Amino acid sequence: MPETEWPLWEVFVRGKRGLNHVHVGSLHAADDEMAVRHARDVYTRRNEGVSIWVVRSTDVTASSPDEKDPMFAPSGDKVYRHPTFYAIPDDVPHM
């Protein structure tokens, strides 16, 4: 059976009080609790006092009329060309 990967999460960090949470990157984790812990390890080096949000990438609904690809037209609300919603051509990507 082919391996299933831990799902992808988007990480938002608020450096200090008074600021907005800012998207800093993504990571893989099996569940939300693990995602928060990973975010702390990967993106803040466990700097305490940093507030972290994590969101499943597939749970983000996107709208950016400026970015144009008919690929996204039918269900044009996804953030990424992620495998979950984007079929990969067979010939990707050899040297």
The residue ranges that bind other proteins (CB under 8 A) are 3-6, 8, 13-16, 19, 22, 24-31, 33-34, 37-38, 41-48, 50, 62, 64, 67-72, 78-83, 86, 88-89, 92-95
Question: Please, what is the minimum distance in Å from the beta carbon of residue 26 to other proteins?
Answer: 5
- Minimum CB separation from other proteins for residue 59, in Å? 14
What's the chain's Rg over C-alpha atoms? 16
Q: Which is nearer to other proteins, 3 or 74 (by Cβ)?
A: 3
Each residue of 69-89: b (16+ CB within 10 Å) or e?
eeebeeebebbbeeeeeeeee
Contact 32, 14 (CB under 8 A): no
Q: Smallest distance from the beta carbon of 17 to other proteins, in angstroms?
A: 11
Residue nearer to other proteins on the CB measure, 25 or 59:
25
Which residues, in sequence order, are CB contacts of 14 under 8 Å at separation 6+? 20, 21, 22, 50, 51, 52
Least spacing, CB of residue 55 vs other proteins, in Å: 14
